[in-house]
Amino acid sequence: MDFSLSQEHQMVQKMVRDFAQKEIAPVIKEHDRKQEPIPWAIKRMGELGILGICFPVRYGGQGMDYISLGLACEELEAVDTTLRVVMSVHTGLCGMTLLQWGTEEQKQKFLVPIARGEKIGAGAFTEPGMGSDVAAMQTTARREGDVYILNGEKMWISLASKADYALVTVKTDPQAARPSQALTSFIVDLHSPGVKTGDLHGKLGVRAGSTGWISFTDVRVPVENRIGEEGEGFKITMSAFDNGRYTVGAGATGLIRASLEASIRYAQERKTFGKPIAEYQLIQQKIARMAQNYEIARLLYLQVGWMKNQGLRSTLQTSYSKKFATEASFEAAHDAIQIHGAYGFSDEYDVERYLRNARGAIIYEGSSEIQTIIQAGYALGQRSDRPLRCELPAYDPDTWQE
Amino acid sequence: MKTWVYIDHFQGQELPASWEAVGVGKKFGLVTAIVFGSGVEPLAKKAFEYGADEVLLADDPALADFRPEAFASTLSSLVSSGTPDLILFPTTARGRDLAAMTAIDLNSGVIVDAVALDLEDGKVVATRPVFGGKLLAKMACSASPQIITLRGRAFPKPEHQPGRSGTLTKVPAKAEALTRVEGYAATEGGVSLTDAGIIVSGGRGVSNNPALTPPAGLDEKQAEIWRAQQGFKLIGELAAVLGGAMGASRAAVDAGYVPYAHQVGQTGKIVSPDLYIACGISGAIQHLAGMRSSKTIVAINKDAEAPIFQVARYGVVGDLFQIVPALTEAFKKRLGK
Amino acid sequence: MKIIVFVKQVPDSAAKVTAENGQAAWGEAPMVINPWDEYAVEAALQQKEAHGGTVTAISIGSENAKEALKHALAMGADDAILVSDPALKNLDTQAIARLLAAIVQKVGGVDMAFFGRQAIDGDSGLTPTQTARILGWPALTLAASIKVEGSTVTVERSFEEGRQIVSANLPAVFSLVKDFGEPRYPSFMGIRKASRAEIPTWTLADLGIAAPTPVVSWPTLINPPSREVKCEFITGASAQEIAEKLADKLIAEKVL
């Protein structure tokens, strides 16, 4: 057993950290205030290869491993959640699902430009009337010869108005015996006729991020854009969530770190009653909790990264990581505000943004309640991993470079 | 102790730190001023007036432009026949180059950027900032002559004594050089940061004036820079009224608001003016390292917790876009401008 | 074009550095490539991109100086050399310059030798000029731009008063200021290459020289005298009132 990061991992960490700190940190506050995405951020992440970090070189990626993906997410979210959200939906939900379930042709056609950052990907599962309850899904596709006709609306979709492609799961068989067999997934070109997208405003957090809706009105999607078989949509969506949640857990770890570092800095500078507040035990308690939770969250996501590298299924471990880190990040930001006192309540400091940004991740990509049910299911033996027709390929340093 | 002082100048215009070095040399004994250039005899006269006892003057068209090889060879050739104990230079781009080469020629070492010199057992011990001013080092050189460059404004400027004179000796130039000077660019008047007695600096906060509406047709980045330029105009006006120079934080330079030449800090200029007014600068450790030795520091910032206030003598918590123009007006009135 | 770039490992510029028992201490703060050297690597890579050739990064130091070399490799340098020898201790700038000149000779066929303008620990900024003097090469220090045509190079040097435009023949020594452009981030491909690179170590025996003798000693470091300033906050009903008060105080203190 080896808990150390390789030199390669450390260099990845530093490179992503330098980018986020130098280029994003100085401008994020204004964009968050204005509720506008940083217009060049995604393009820049693409140029630097971050968007394709964990894909094999032959699919346009950078050939790094899944741990590197997690480390990048931690560094990005330590500056702002919006950056990590891009990794979750573009790289996690969309790209990694193509890597896992796509045919060779689909990988060449869709994954390559996504890995290079030339095209932006999203994942569209949630609907206005449905989140975790897939049986309630109302977006449909019906086959007509070589095309499927899509109708319906997806909501709360990150990058909805920015993406070129979306991995979309819809109902193809309303008569299916089990709701999970009713679903099919597609990679949809969002520039197709009949696709409309828009942004949602008034979010509590992730305000410099793009969240929106996508509506489909008789959108014709060629059969060759179907990912997997008809009826495999549920499994594919769950695979997508395994990948997306990994990035959420890793990112939330960065948010804990950001709260911790801000708190340490402030507690050592700020004096009350003649001494730095860091010397008071009630402050120390909060800082110790953040430090401990950061360590736990980090170990949890690194374990998932390691399992992914080995080609092991990690639905349960990902659930632990995602639930623990997102909840702990909210707590950490909350404590950080308390440490900052009235300043923490003002947007002059970053910690209030951390709190607002932390909140969403306890809901999206499987709420804490869903994670609890998953965890209980495994613990009670009611749930187990059955082999999938397509597993996420294990990381291989040699073939990844080809 | 015999001290030589190199009088650094640009096209005949001396840098004030040269006279400060003459003043330092006087404390140790006789001072010989080294004046190299073309048509620089007036500088030799000035050197006497600032206290030099002797001047070695190499006045030659071949020395019209500073080329380190030619200047160093000229200087080194004199040392073998005159042997000073100590050679002082002002810490400038040219001073550093020349000191560096002369030390190689004379098999000696260089102590650069000293802020204090003490005599211990007949040897000069120099104190100089290292780690961007975070620490001080006491350094000594065992070889002779000792070669030291002095930080500008760290030593007092000696009194100007019009009419004072001394021995002028003309010496030959060694003109061979490996470089050709093709010309000059971006040479502007105005006070250089390192010589300035007063510096007014702006940070990233200078771009945040909510009262301004950028002209139409600018993209976001252009609009930000436009805002910053309006802000720096206010900074520049205050600097102008005070007869000082304009500085900037690294954040402001990196964001493209002002050219790098204005950057104060560990990777910019290290300054120690009499008065430093920091506007919208929070006070990152790298910035503090570059200006904390200023005699009086004034900080204007809207964040009362900004670290800059920890080094400031006077602080104003408020909107720089209102305070700075008001300050400009207040000084205009008082200074009769 | 055969380009070498000298790099050094230093404590991060954000580190809080203090003197402890006469030595510099920076706690847990990371060591990084000297920021000025990062500009030099960038400049070297730009020259390689414009004119072809190779970039070799070289550092003098202990094993941990390899970190700075790996950073240069990750940015895109072709190879790296560490110069390390137990006899190399307490070197001053002229001793380092003599060592560097020997390294340049040993590498052989070098057209351009790049330096950062200074290291942010020693802050001397002398070694580029001294190395050039020993080699008998032009010292093009504080270069803000570089243009190569054939074997002639033209640079703009940053003086206090502006830019001096200077030309010289290659080979030459350059030290770089910041105007060159922000250093690029390491690429992932570069990171992979760097993390797998075997960096050769040269000793004094490899260079065929004895350890150069330092003449400047640097026995102890001290903390700067702490400035006991108590900030007096100026308040008032209006910006004008605050400004008037502040101006009066500054004039009364004769700081103007």
Q: Is residue B281 part of a domain?
A: yes
Instruction: List CB contacts (< 8 A) between A48 and chain C.
Output: 185, 187
Q: Which residue of C has its CA nearest to A397?
A: C192
Instruction: List CB contacts (< 8 A) between B302 and chain A.
Output: 348
Instruction: List CB contacts (< 8 A) between B305 and chain A.
Output: 269-270, 343
Domain final position from A173, A203, A233: A233
Q: Is residue B305 part of a domain?
A: yes
Question: C154–B192: do the CB atoms touch at under 8 Å?
Answer: no
> Which of B 138-167 lie inside 8 A of C, CB atoms?
138-143
The residue assigned the tokens 């010289």 is C168
For chain B, what is the largest distance between any 2 Cα atoms, rounded to a whole number of angstroms? 70
Q: Does B131 touch chain C (CB under 8 A)?
A: yes
Asked if A243 and A214 sit in the same domain, the reply is: no
The lowest-confidence range among A350-364, B67-81, C221-235 is C221-235
Asked if B248 and B133 sit in the same domain, the reply is: no
Residue B97, Cα to own-chain centre: how many angstroms?
A: 15
Token duo for residue A297: 């969250």
Asked if A109 and A253 sit in the same domain, the reply is: no
Question: Could you give the number of structural domains in chain A?
Answer: 3
Domain final position from B170, B203, B238: B170
How far B294 CA sits from the closest chain A CA (Å)? Answer: 23
Q: Is residue A294 part of a domain?
A: yes
SS3 of residue C199 by DSSP: coil
Asked if B105 and B46 sit in the same domain, the reply is: yes
Asked if residue B190 has pLDDT above 60, the reply is no
Q: Is residue A1 part of a domain?
A: no
Asked if A214 and A267 sit in the same domain, the reply is: no
Tell me which residues of A are annotated as active site. 365
Average pLDDT, chain A: 95
CATH number at residue A110: 1.10.540.10
> Which of C 113-142 lie inside 8 A of B, CB atoms?
120-127, 129-130, 133-134, 136-142
Q: Indicate whether this complex's ipTM tops 0.90.
A: yes
Q: DSSP readout, A182-229? A: SEEEEEEETTSTTEEEEE----SS-TTS-EEEEEEEEEEEEGGGEESS
How far C253 CA sits from the closest chain B CA (Å)? Answer: 9
Domain final position from B170, B185, B219: B170
d(CA B223, CA B202): 18
How far C94 CA sits from the closest chain B CA (Å)? Answer: 6
End-to-end CA distance of chain A: 28
SS3 of residue A302 by DSSP: helix
Asked if residue B217 has pLDDT above 90, the reply is no
Nearest to B211 by CA among B335, B322, B315: B322
Token duo for residue B185: 């660019």
Contacting subunits of B (3+ beta carbon pairs below 8 A): A, C
Q: What is the tens place of the pLDDT at every residue in A97-141?
A: 999 999 999 999 999 999 999 999 999 999 998 887 877 899 999
Q: What is the tens place of the pLDDT at every residue in C86-109?
A: 999 889 999 999 999 999 999 999
What band does C255 get if pLDDT is binned at 50, 70 and 90?
confident
Facing residue for B100 by CB, picked from C121, C130, C161: C130
Please state the φ and ψ torsions of residue C252, each to the nearest 5 degrees.
Answer: -65, -35
Asked if A80 and A222 sit in the same domain, the reply is: no
Question: B255–A343: do the CB atoms touch at under 8 Å?
Answer: no
Domain final position from A233, A254, A272: A233
Instruction: List CB contacts (< 8 A) between B255 and chain A.
Output: 26
Asked if B114 and B219 sit in the same domain, the reply is: no
Question: B131–C123: do the CB atoms touch at under 8 Å?
Answer: yes
Q: Does B119 touch chain C (CB under 8 A)?
A: no
The residue assigned the tokens 């510029």 is C13
Pairing of strands B179-185, B167-170: unpaired
Instruction: List CB contacts (< 8 A) between A7 and chain C.
Output: 70, 195
Pairing of strands B135-141, C216-222: antiparallel
Contact call for residues A240 and A389 (beta carbons, < 8 A): no
Question: A270–B305: do the CB atoms touch at under 8 Å?
Answer: yes
Contact call for residues A23 and A75 (beta carbons, < 8 A): no
Question: Which domains are seen in chain C, by residue range?
Answer: 2-207 (3.40.50.620)
How far B140 CA sits from the closest chain C CA (Å)? Answer: 6
Domain assignment of residue A35, given as a range = 7-120
> Which of C 188-247 lie inside 8 A of B, CB atoms?
214-224, 227, 229, 231-235, 238-240, 242-244, 246-247
Pairing of strands C54-60, C152-159: unpaired
Q: How many inter-chain contacts (A to C, CB under 8 Å) are there?
A: 37
Asked if A175 and A249 sit in the same domain, the reply is: no
Instruction: List CB contacts (< 8 A) between C247 and chain B.
Output: 327, 330-331, 334
CATH number at residue A353: 1.20.140.10
Nearest to B18 by CA among B50, B45, B42: B50
SS3 of residue B14 by DSSP: strand
Helices (H) and strands (E) in chain A, counts: 13, 10
Asked if A114 and A160 sit in the same domain, the reply is: no
Question: Could you give the number of structural domains in chain B?
Answer: 2
CB-side exposure of A152: number of CA atoms within 13 Å?
23
More confidently predicted of C36 and A343: C36
d(CA A187, CA A119): 13
Q: Is residue B180 part of a domain?
A: no
Contacts of A177 (CB under 8 A, 6+ apart): none
Q: Which residue of A has its CA nearest to B302?
A: A348
Asked if A392 and A270 sit in the same domain, the reply is: yes
Contact call for residues A95 and A128 (beta carbons, < 8 A): no
Facing residue for C185 by CB, picked from A6, A48, A53: A48
Question: A7–C195: do the CB atoms touch at under 8 Å?
Answer: yes
> Which of B 316-335 lie inside 8 A of C, CB atoms?
316-319, 322-323, 325-327, 329-331, 334-335
Burial (CB count <10 Å: 0-12, 13-18, 19+), residue A274: exposed
Nearest to B197 by CA among C224, C256, A381: C256
Q: Is residue B182 part of a domain?
A: no
CATH number at residue B31: 3.40.50.620
Number of Cβ within a 10 Å radius of residue A272: 11
Q: Does C253 touch chain B (CB under 8 A)?
A: yes
d(CA A289, CA A328): 9
What angle do the packed helices A233-269 and A281-310 form, to 10 degrees?
A: 150
pLDDT of residue A195: 98
Q: Is residue B179 part of a domain?
A: no
Q: Is residue A2 part of a domain?
A: no
Asked if A264 and A182 sit in the same domain, the reply is: no
Token duo for residue B260: 């790098």
* Interface residues from chain A to B (CB-CB < 8 Å): 22, 26, 39, 269-270, 343, 348
What band does B255 get if pLDDT is binned at 50, 70 and 90?
confident
pLDDT of residue B224: 85
Q: Is residue A360 part of a domain?
A: yes
The residue assigned the tokens 């250089």 is B192
Domain assignment of residue B22, given as a range = 3-170
Q: Does B307 touch chain A (CB under 8 A)?
A: yes
Asked if A99 and A127 sit in the same domain, the reply is: no
Token duo for residue B232: 């720096």
pLDDT of residue B191: 60
Residue type, A158: S
Token duo for residue C195: 């993390």
Q: DSSP readout, A25-93? A: HHHHHHHHHHT---TTHHHHHHHTTGGGTTS-GGGTS----HHHHHHHHHHHHHH-HHHHHHIIIIIII
* Interface residues from chain A to C (CB-CB < 8 Å): 6-8, 11-12, 15, 18-19, 48-49, 53, 62-64, 401
Nearest to A98 by CA among A152, A46, A162, A168: A168
pLDDT of residue B185: 85
Q: Which residue of B has its CA nearest to A39?
A: B220
How many residues are there in chain B?
A: 337
> Which of B 187-246 lie inside 8 A of A, CB atoms?
204, 220
Residue type, C163: R
Instruction: List CB contacts (< 8 A) between C12 and chain A.
Output: none
Instruction: List CB contacts (< 8 A) between A67 and chain C.
Output: none
Question: B251–A343: do the CB atoms touch at under 8 Å?
Answer: no
Q: DSSP readout, B245-311? A: EEEE-HHHHHTTSS-GGGBBSTTSB----SEEEEES----HHHHHHHTT-SEEEEEES-TT-GGGGT
Please state the φ and ψ torsions of residue B70, each to the nearest 5 degrees.
Answer: -65, -45
Facing residue for A64 by CB, picked from C74, C188, C196: C188
The lowest-confidence range among A200-214, B119-133, B202-216 is B202-216
Q: DSSP readout, B140-195? A: EE-SSSEEEEE-TTSSPPPPP-TT---EEEE-------SEEEEEEES---S--GGG
Q: Does C40 touch chain B (CB under 8 A)?
A: no
Asked if residue B188 has pLDDT above 70, the reply is no
Asked if B159 and B202 sit in the same domain, the reply is: no
Mutation pick from A4, A11, A91 vs chain C, by most beta carbons of C within 10 Å, is A11
Q: What is the tens place of the pLDDT at every residue in C109-166?
A: 999 999 999 999 999 999 999 999 999 999 999 999 999 999 999 999 988 888 899 9
Facing residue for B204 by CB, picked from A26, A39, A343: A26
Q: Which residue of C has its CA nearest to B244?
A: C256
Instruction: List CB contacts (< 8 A) between B220 and chain A.
Output: 39
Token duo for residue C138: 């032009």
Token duo for residue B280: 């919208």
Asked if A134 and A198 sit in the same domain, the reply is: yes
CATH number at residue B211: 3.40.50.1220
How far A26 CA sits from the closest chain C CA (Å)? Answer: 16
pLDDT of residue B247: 94
SS3 of residue A125 by DSSP: coil
Question: A26–B255: do the CB atoms touch at under 8 Å?
Answer: yes
Token duo for residue B57: 């003057």
Asked if B199 and B164 sit in the same domain, the reply is: no
Asked if B286 and B326 sit in the same domain, the reply is: yes
Burial (CB count <10 Å: 0-12, 13-18, 19+), residue B169: middle
Asked if B143 and B10 sit in the same domain, the reply is: yes
Nearest to B248 by CA among B265, B266, B229: B265
Measured CA to CA in angstroms, residue C212 lies from C87, C121, C132 at distances of 9, 21, 16
Facing residue for C129 by CB, picked from B97, B298, B329: B97
Q: What is the tens place of the pLDDT at every residue in A131-174?
A: 878 778 999 999 999 999 999 999 999 999 999 999 999 999 98
Q: What is the tens place of the pLDDT at every residue in A65-79?
A: 999 999 999 999 999
What band does B81 get if pLDDT is binned at 50, 70 and 90?
low
Contacting subunits of C (3+ beta carbon pairs below 8 A): A, B
Q: Is residue B178 part of a domain?
A: no
Please state the φ and ψ torsions of residue B108, each to the nearest 5 degrees.
Answer: -125, -175
Asked if A38 and A16 sit in the same domain, the reply is: yes
Write down the pTM of the prediction: 0.89
Contact call for residues C113 and C140 (beta carbons, < 8 A): no
Asked if B239 and B144 sit in the same domain, the reply is: no
Domain final position from A181, A205, A233: A233
Contact call for residues C188 and A53 (beta carbons, < 8 A): yes
Please state the φ and ψ torsions of residue B290, each to the nearest 5 degrees.
Answer: -85, -10
Q: Is residue B300 part of a domain?
A: yes
Cis previous bond, B145, omega within 30: yes
Question: C191–A53: do the CB atoms touch at under 8 Å?
Answer: no
Asked if residue B100 has pLDDT above 60, the reply is yes
Q: What is the tens place of the pLDDT at every residue in B272-302?
A: 899 999 999 999 888 998 898 888 999 999 8
The lowest-confidence range among A255-269, B11-25, B94-108, B254-268 is B254-268
Asked if A279 and A393 sit in the same domain, the reply is: yes
Q: For chain A, how big is the Rg over CA atoms in Å?
A: 21
d(CA A8, CA C236): 56
What band does C253 get if pLDDT is binned at 50, 70 and 90?
confident
Average pLDDT, chain B: 91
Number of Cβ within a 10 Å radius of residue B327: 30
